[in-house]
Amino acid sequence: MVRLLLSIKADLENVTDFVPAAHDFEFFFGVKCTSCHEHHPRIVSLNRIEEHPVSTGKDNTAHFVWRCGHCKRESYAKFDASSPPRPYSVDANGNFAPFITVDCRGLEFTSLDPRGTWRCTGVDSGTPFTEVVLEGGEWVDYDEKAKKPVGISGIEGKWSRA
Ligand SMILES: [Zn+2]
């Protein structure tokens, strides 16, 4: 197994602690086979709840299982149960910060598509924003308590060896 780290960066406007809204959040990643280097034709999705049977290797189940269309090898990935997603803080604004780790066998994730429902908090007001959905890569709202516009844009993911 290879442990991969996904780091994310974002431009936060007057908010902090940007993180998936729920434990069953569906992550969308690009993926490639490390045996033949073929990329999966589609963005794939996986979450921390659902597990699927694995036919090879030591593990019986994994959060994502894929049989490569090119070399036909089976590969899989498992979230590290002990490390939930780390909220992206305003302290990291515009810079990459560690987000999640995933154990992979026979595959590597290559990209992040930040769709789905996230949440964040007003920096000074503490106002919770619990339904942050990015449209065209952006989210904008207004913090009534702080009387300031809030927003998130410029999200990027970067995979590396943990
Ligand atoms: Zn392959």
Whether residue 58 has pLDDT greater than 90:
no
Does residue 75 contact residue 107 with C-beta atoms inside 8 Å?
yes
| Cα–Cα distance list, 95 to 16, 19, 91, 154 (Å) | 13, 16, 9, 11
Measured in Å, residue 39 CA sits from the centre of ligand 1 at: 8
Whether residue 57 has pLDDT greater than 70:
no
pLDDT score at 4: 97
pLDDT band at 80 (very low <50, low <70, confident <90, very high): confident
Measured in Å, residue 42 CA sits from the centre of ligand 1 at: 14
Whether the model pTM is above 0.85: yes
Measured in Å, residue 96 CA sits from the centre of ligand 1 at: 30
Instruction: Please identify which residue in the block is written with the tokens 């970067």.
Output: 158
pLDDT band at 94 (very low <50, low <70, confident <90, very high): very high
Read off the pLDDT of each residue in 48-58 and give the average, rounded to a whole number: 88
Measured in Å, residue 35 CA sits from the centre of ligand 1 at: 5
pLDDT band at 54 (very low <50, low <70, confident <90, very high): very high
| Cα–Cα distance list, 78 to 2, 19, 98, 102 (Å) | 10, 19, 17, 6
Does residue 134 contact residue 155 with C-beta atoms inside 8 Å?
yes
pLDDT band at 81 (very low <50, low <70, confident <90, very high): confident
Question: In whole numbers, what is the pLDDT of the chain averaged over residues?
Answer: 96
Q: Among candidates 49, 85, 82, 81, which has minimal Cα distance to 64?
A: 49
Measured in Å, residue 104 CA sits from the centre of ligand 1 at: 14
Measured in Å, residue 36 CA sits from the centre of ligand 1 at: 4
Read off the pLDDT of each residue in 51-63 and give the average, rounded to a whole number: 87
Measured in Å, residue 54 CA sits from the centre of ligand 1 at: 16
Read off the pLDDT of each residue in 110-139 and give the average, rounded to a whole number: 96
Measured in Å, residue 98 CA sits from the centre of ligand 1 at: 28
- In angstroms, the CA 133 to CA 103 distance is 27
Q: Among candidates 104, 122, 108, 114, which has minimal Cα distance to 138?
A: 114
Residue ranges of domains in the chain: 2-161
- In angstroms, the CA 36 to CA 115 distance is 28
What is the tens place of the pLDDT at every residue in 13-27? 999 999 999 999 999
Strands 97-105, 61-62: pairing is: unpaired
Amino acid at 124: D
State the burial class of residue 131 (Cβ atoms within 10 Å of its Cβ: 0-12, 13-18, 19+). exposed
